[in-house]
């Protein structure tokens, strides 16, 4: 097409990777909850939104961006642990639809609570001065903050992998997901394992929301659209697959970015077109196991 150079194409792919990094964090949390707990969390978008608003509240108390980046996911993760312990845990073993319906209703409660506390209009969220501007990446200038988002997402993915694969507690989490009865026999409190997993999953959603706030601001409805995309990413990557969540998140981000360049009106449609193609070829997604939902 006229006016589209290789450098422009490469920059657009980098833009897609930055967008995909947000999707990766969302889908990682969702896949973690489903893969470990078999919980489809419809409140995941609301936790994403709450992450942004917790950062807004911390800024209002005098904290800086870096304090918010550290504490917002932790605080929302603790909220997620409270939700798991009080609301979701009694529903384990009753079927996948029970926690799904509960979290669906919980998302509306959380959104309304934020509207009451912060108002219905969006709130701007300034990028820290050190991350303002653009850097030369060899193919052109690219926003520093978007590079930062990619780096944070990569660090979160690496940290989660090291935690699950290289620590004793990660081994317990993986064992508890596969056979909780054996873990109980070994004297390990499976409830505590599930609590930690839910906290990590919701914390990842909050981290994604906090990182997205400087790009789009904070609004009570900001989690709605990203929740749908997170489900697409999770399904394309394979329900419960962390590797699939990473690869599918980046792929969806790049597809949306390229569609925005070539056919902007098709950007959102392209997400669901990609999902349809993948599911026709491989119904369980890239790395999902057949029959996992049954």
Each residue's pLDDT tens digit, 254-280: 999 988 888 888 888 898 899 999 989
Higher-pLDDT residue of 140 and 237 is 237
State residue 87's pLDDT score: 93
Whether the Cβ atoms of residue 68 and residue 55 lie closer than 8 Å to each other: yes
Is 68 a residue whose pLDDT tops 60? yes
Nearest to 149 by CA among 167, 165, 127, 176: 127
Q: Using only C-alpha atoms, what is the Rg of the chain?
A: 19
The overall average pLDDT reported for the chain is: 88
pTM of the predicted structure, to 2 decimals: 0.91
Residues ≥6 apart with Cβ < 8 Å to 11: 139, 140, 142
Q: Which residue has the higher pLDDT, 127 or 92?
A: 127
Q: DSSP state, 170?
A: H
User: What is the structure's pLDDT at 2?
Assistant: 56
Confidence of residue 45 (pLDDT cuts 50, 70, 90): very high
CB of 204 closer than 8 Å to CB of 51 = no
């Amino acid at each position: 097409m006229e006016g589209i150079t290789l450098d422009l194409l490469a920059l657009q792919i980098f833009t897609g990777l930055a967008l995909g990094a947000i999707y990766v964090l969302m889908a990682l949390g969702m896949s973690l909850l489903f893969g470990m707990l078999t919980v489809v969390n419809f409140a995941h978008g609301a936790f994403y939104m709450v992450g942004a608003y917790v950062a807004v509240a911390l800024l209002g108390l005098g904290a800086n961006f870096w304090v918010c980046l550290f504490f917002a996911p932790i605080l929302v993760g603790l909220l997620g642990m409270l939700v798991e312990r009080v609301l979701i845990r009694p529903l384990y073993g009753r079927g996948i639809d029970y926690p799904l319906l509960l979290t669906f209703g919980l998302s509306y409660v959380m959104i309304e609570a934020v509207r009451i506390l912060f108002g219905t209009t969006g709130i701007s969220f300034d990028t820290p001065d050190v991350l303002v501007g653009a850097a030369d990446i060899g193919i052109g200038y690219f926003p520093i903050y978007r590079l930062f988002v990619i780096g944070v997402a990569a660090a979160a993915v690496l940290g989660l992998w090291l935690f699950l694969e290289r620590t004793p507690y990660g081994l317990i989490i993986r064992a508890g997901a596969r056979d909780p009865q054996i873990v109980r026999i070994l004297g390990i409190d499976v409830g505590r394992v599930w609590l930690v997993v839910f906290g990590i999953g919701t914390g990842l959603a909050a981290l994604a929301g906090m990182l997205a706030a400087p790009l789009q601001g904070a609004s009570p409805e900001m989690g709605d659209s990203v929740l749908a995309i997170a489900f697409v990413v999770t399904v394309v990557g394979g329900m419960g697959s962390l590797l699939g969540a990473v690869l599918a998140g980046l792929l969806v981000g790049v597809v949306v970015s390229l569609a925005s360049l070539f056919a902007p009106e098709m950007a959102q449609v392209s997400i669901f077109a990609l999902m349809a193609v993948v599911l026709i070829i491989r119904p369980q997604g890239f790395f999902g196991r057949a029959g996992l939902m049954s």
